[in-house]
Amino acid sequence: MEDTTLENAGHAACLVLPERGQKPRAQGITSVIDFGPDTFGWGGSESSLRGMLECAAPYIDMAKIFALNPLLVPHPVMRKAIGCYRSFDIDVYAGGILFEYAWRRNELDGMVNLLRTLGLDAVEVSENCITLDRDERRRVIERLQGQGVRVVYEFGAKNPEAPLELDELARIVSDMNELGIGHVTLEQSELDLLTATSPSAMNDLKQSSWFDAIMIEGDPYRFPQQHASLIQEFGANVNLANVTLGQALRLEGLRRGVGRAVGYSLFAQFE
């Protein structure tokens, strides 16, 4: 007997998962990090990306090119990879270490030229290995924007010496909003130190009026447990960054209650 399941799919109700917002999303953003050829997911080139994005692109909003890979990966390869992301409607940008390296060398114009050569129009401004005061931060962002470069901002240091103050983070979010930057990425090390020193910090952060503007960096080495905890703490539509290519599809499952790490919470609706 002929199987007509697929033919009938358009004429009968299909089995579906609970829906999430479609791209472009304001909440529930997933930003992946492209390490290049790596055990976390074979990124960095068009041929390796395409198969992965055919599966996971609907669940990926942004992609960050890791550290100094724009200088390490051959330019023709990088250009094709960037074009591949864009063909799947994914915003792609250079990571903040590239900006910090250019800042240290006083070569921001050279960085902008590199971005243009690669077909990139966005870069992350971060302060992992440098420190900018409030005026410097605003000036450099406005300078880049004036050169046609979109800016993604990351708050925090890789090795913070003291826990962040939520009032300071609120001021950063406000400053970025004034500059047309809708989200601020929170460095994972900052969140770790904050939660270790203040038991109520996660709830205070969640209750902040500006929390939807925060993208929380996850630790790829702590996937899926850490990411499941963040979803359980902040909800399925928490904005998450630093997700590897190889984790993006599973993360979407976690958001929808699929997976042991979230206790298959999808089934709670039937209780």
Mean pLDDT of the chain: 91
Instruction: Give a yes or no: residue 3 inside a domain.
Output: no
Regarding predicted confidence, which is higher, 9 or 119? Answer: 119
Per-residue model confidence (pLDDT) at position 12 = 58
Distance between CA atoms of 71 and 1, rounded to whole angstroms? 58
SS3 96: helix
Residue 71: CB atoms within 10 Å? 13
The CATH number covering residue 144 comes to: 3.20.20.70
Per-residue model confidence (pLDDT) at position 67 = 94
Instruction: Give a yes or no: residue 195 inside a domain.
Output: yes
**Could you report the per-residue pLDDT of 123-164, keeping only the tens digit for each?**
999 999 999 999 999 999 999 999 999 999 999 888 888 888
Number of structural domains (the chain) is: 1
Tokens of 169: 């983070």
Instruction: Give a yes or no: residue 10 inside a domain.
Output: no
Distance between CA atoms of 131 and 259, rounded to whole angstroms? 40
Instruction: Kindly state the average pLDDT of the residues 235-242.
Output: 96
Instruction: Give a yes or no: residue 151 inside a domain.
Output: yes
SS3 30: strand
**Could you report the per-residue pLDDT of 90-101, keeping only the tens digit for each?**
999 999 999 999
Residue that the structure tokens 């960085």 belong to:
111
Name the band, by pLDDT with cuts 50, 70 and 90, for residue 2: very low
**Could you report the per-residue pLDDT of 157-180, keeping only the tens digit for each?**
888 888 889 999 999 999 999 999
Instruction: Give a yes or no: residue 205 inside a domain.
Output: no
Instruction: Give a yes or no: residue 133 inside a domain.
Output: yes
pLDDT reading at 10 higher than 80: no
Instruction: Give a yes or no: residue 138 inside a domain.
Output: yes
Q: Which domain holds residue 257?
A: 25-200+213-270
Instruction: Give a yes or no: residue 80 inside a domain.
Output: yes
Q: What is the DSSP letter of 68?
A: T
